[in-house]
Structure 1
Amino acid sequence: MIAEHKTVDGVVIGMILGFRGAAPLVVFPGNPKEEAIPARSLARLAGEDVGAEVALLFEEGDRMRPLIVGKLVEPARDDAAPLVVADGQMLRLTAKERIELRVGRSSIVMEADGHITIRGTDLVSHAARSNRIRGGSVNLN
């Protein structure tokens, strides 16, 4: 006896496991078989797509008739966007040209060329141990 399969409305995310001839073989949540099912595709697919996630619709809602409507891709990352890494112990901001921290009348500006500017109405430096100022030359006032 063949079990009735509920029809599917909407998109289901599946995965390409391989090909049988030209037909991509897909698995997906609610797959009525214990193996991948051949699918039709609106997208051009090739061997390098094995393992890719795909958006599936089903002809007449039938889970045995998957139709690949597209391949999911990771969004492109803008290399110009700053990179922020935070793990609870450390916070790292990385940018190509400049990082600025500003609040009220104070700021810290770091440039890619190594130039750092610290500005504020009052600037205080405290050290429990030594407090050193080093540089090729040190100018005070």
Structure 2
Amino acid sequence: MTVEYHLPAASTATPARVDGVVIGVLLDVPSADAPVVAFPGCPGEIGLAARTTTPLSREDIGAQVALMFEAGDPARPLVIGRIQRLLATAIPAVAHMDGERLEFTAEREIVLRCGKASITLTRAGKVIIQGAYLSSRSSGVNRIKGGSVQIN
């Protein structure tokens, strides 16, 4: 995969010390403990190997990362995090658990799936149970109740 990166132009002089957080780009992750990064004023031609405080993978290549520098040395970058891109319109699914009850909440639907079996709950109030074999057992009353009931 070939990716082209454009960093803001920086002066040709390498700063003696870098304090604070610098935003850079993750160029490569050849091994889990040595990601390659580039940043404005980067002393390396093709980026620098960095240390990291956060897990990074090849799927993160091209992402912006927050960098600090060991002892302020621009030749010793430390990735302190990946800049997150959260969708403002996305409403996350929520799970509440208190030891007695587990409740999942979602905006549109919830699907529990295992192999060929699934249970789907929709926003419209539908409960759809699908599977290769369906068994309903009860030691008490097994009640089927609805506006209309169809069997077969």
TM-score under structure 2 length normalisation = 0.47
Partner of 2:19: 9
Amino acid across the alignment from 1:17: L
Q: Give the count of matched residue pairs.
A: 78
Alignment partner of 1:53 out of 57, 64, 67:
64
Larger Rg over CA atoms: 1
Contact 2:26 2:65 in 1 (8 A): yes
TM-score under structure 1 length normalisation = 0.51
Q: Which runs of 5+ in 2 are unaligned?
A: 1-12, 92-152
Cα gap change, 1:63 to 1:78, in 2 (>3 Å): same
More strand by share: 1
Alpha-carbon separation, structure 1, partners of 2:80 and 2:70: 11
Report the CA distance between 1:19 and its aligned residue.
2.2
Report the CA distance between 1:25 and its aligned residue.
0.2
Q: Secondary structure at the match of 2:56?
A: coil
Report the CA distance between 1:79 and its aligned residue.
4.6
Alpha-carbon separation, structure 2, partners of 1:68 and 1:79: 27
Contact 1:43 1:70 in 2 (8 A): yes
Cα gap change, 1:11 to 1:78, in 2 (>3 Å): same
Q: How does 1:1-141 map to 2 (within 5 A)?
A: 5-22=15-32, 23-79=34-90
Percent of pairs identical after alignment? 46
Alpha-carbon separation, structure 1, partners of 2:64 and 2:29: 14
Q: Which runs of 5+ in 1 are unaligned?
A: 81-141
Alpha-carbon separation, structure 2, partners of 1:50 and 1:76: 19
Q: Secondary structure at the match of 1:76?
A: coil
Off by >4 Å, runs of 4+ in structure 1: none
Cα gap change, 1:30 to 1:78, in 2 (>3 Å): same
